[in-house]
């Protein structure tokens, strides 16, 4: 009996040491990290088809981002004839963006791709979803380039089209049926650069710290976007935590003036700033500048006579005498603002801005 006992014990000890030996560093085989399927060959882009980038996994129209393709959204969004947008960012491995100011576009590394898909819900007659276009901005060594991809009717592929076009679309917005002759911009004709430029160099508009400093749902839970970017290695962690931030323009829990300033910033500031398309005008619509409401045109006498009875860019207490209100309500190409990006009126935003103008009690000299 004793002999059997010691034999069993010896066998157990041998098995134990054999197990330890198998787990030694010399025999350890690490499990490789999964790699992103995204392909952004700077010598070959823009590709002829959107699918060539492999930004999305599975059926492309579902817009499920591939590994390392990160969704993002600004607090307030540029109005584009009520189109919805899905935005994503991708960066090469071990590259990250750098903070350069609350209201300045993040400094992105070479190889970055910013992806924005424009689509409509409740498209008539069958209340379907229809994707119109996907715009891609790519950071090359010499600067940013534009690549616009138009989706086919089957919603299976989007093809590079630098020439721009119009597409008629009818959809249900709330309880109202709306129609727009949606404009896909021409990158070859310079329409993209009109808005996306600073001193004649192309730049992104939306991805600024002031616009990203709030939480969104990533599927696994909500997280502040700047924190998420830093967590995944897309943002240098050396950014301030006291960023002065925009708000959602339609969040009625926020002060009216702050909502208006946030809307004006994302829709107008890219042109009305130094070195941009409308820099020759006196208005300065960046969120960091409109805490002084005179920069929004309050009591500013217009240079051009665009309509009778319009006494100021913003006439306190009187939307009917305000050029800002007139231009936002216009669909005429020669008088509407913004110049590009819309063909119909953003009714809810106009109502908000008129409410703000009516609330002003400033006296103009």
pLDDT of residue 232: 96
Would you say the pTM of this structure is higher than 0.95? Answer: no
Rounded Cα gap, residues 80 and 72, in angstroms: 18
Spell out the SS3 assignment of 19-53: HHHHCCHHHCCCCCCCCCCCCCCCCCCCCCEHHHH
Token pair listed for 255: 């002060």
Give just the sign of the alpha carbon dihedral 181, 187, 191, 193: positive
- At residue 85, the 3 state secondary structure works out as strand
Q: Given a cut of 70, is residue 342 above it in pLDDT?
A: yes
Residue 70 host element (H or E): strand 70-72
Q: In sequence order, which residues have a C-beta less than 8 Å from that of residue 240 and are 6 or more positions away?
A: 99, 102
Where does the pLDDT of residue 337 fall: very low under 50, low under 70, confident under 90, or very high at 90 and above? confident
Domain residue ranges of the chain, discontinuous segments joined by +: 35-240, 246-364
Q: Do 299 and 314 touch, CB atoms closer than 8 A?
A: yes
Percent of the chain beyond pLDDT 90?
Answer: 67
Higher pLDDT, 365 or 116: 116
Q: Given a cut of 70, is residue 9 above it in pLDDT?
A: no
Q: Given a cut of 90, is residue 46 above it in pLDDT?
A: yes
Q: Do 190 and 223 touch, CB atoms closer than 8 A?
A: no
Rounded Cα gap, residues 59 and 247, in angstroms: 33
Rounded Cα gap, residues 205 and 74, in angstroms: 10
Rounded Cα gap, residues 143 and 155, in angstroms: 31
- At residue 71, the 3 state secondary structure works out as strand
pLDDT of residue 112: 97
């Amino acid at each position: 009996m004793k002999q059997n006992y010691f034999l069993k014990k010896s066998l157990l000890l041998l098995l134990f040491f054999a197990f330890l030996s198998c787990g030694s560093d010399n025999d350890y085989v690490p499990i490789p990290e999964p790699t992103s399927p995204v392909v952004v060959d700077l010598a070959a882009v823009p590709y002829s088809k959107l699918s060539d980038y492999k930004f999305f996994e599975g059926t492309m129209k579902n817009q499920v981002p591939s590994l390392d393709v990160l969704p993002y959204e600004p607090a307030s969004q540029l109005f584009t004839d009520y189109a919805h947008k899905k935005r994503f960012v991708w960066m090469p491995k071990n590259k990250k963006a750098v903070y350069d100011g609350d209201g300045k576009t993040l400094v992105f590394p070479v190889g970055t791709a910013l992806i924005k898909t424009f689509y409509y819900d409740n498209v008539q007659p069958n209340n379907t979803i229809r994707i119109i276009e996907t715009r891609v901005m790519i950071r090359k060594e010499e600067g940013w380039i534009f690549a616009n991809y138009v989706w086919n009717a089957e919603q299976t592929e989007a093809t590079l089209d630098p020439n721009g076009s119009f597409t008629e679309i009818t959809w249900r917005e709330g309880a109202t049926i709306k129609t727009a002759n949606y404009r896909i911009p021409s990158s070859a004709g310079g329409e993209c650069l009109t808005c996306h430029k600073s001193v004649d160099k192309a730049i992104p508009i939306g991805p600024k710290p002031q616009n990203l400093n709030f939480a969104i749902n990533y599927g696994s839970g909500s997280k502040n976007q700047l924190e998420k970017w830093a967590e995944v290695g897309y943002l240098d962690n050396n950014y301030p935590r006291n960023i002065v931030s925009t708000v959602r323009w339609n969040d009625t829990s926020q002060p009216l003036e702050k909502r208006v300033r946030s809307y004006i910033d994302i829709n107008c500031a890219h042109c009305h700033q130094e070195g941009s398309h409308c820099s020759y005008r006196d208005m300065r619509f960046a969120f960091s500048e409109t805490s002084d409401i005179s920069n929004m045109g309050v009591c500013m006498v217009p240079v051009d006579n665009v309509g009778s009875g319009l006494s100021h860019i913003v006439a306190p207490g009187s939307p009917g005498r305000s050029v800002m209100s007139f231009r936002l309500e216009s669909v005429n190409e020669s008088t509407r603002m913004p110049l590009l990006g819309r063909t119909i009126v953003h009714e809810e935003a106009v109502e908000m801005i008129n409410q703000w103008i009516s609330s002003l009690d400033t006296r103009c000299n």
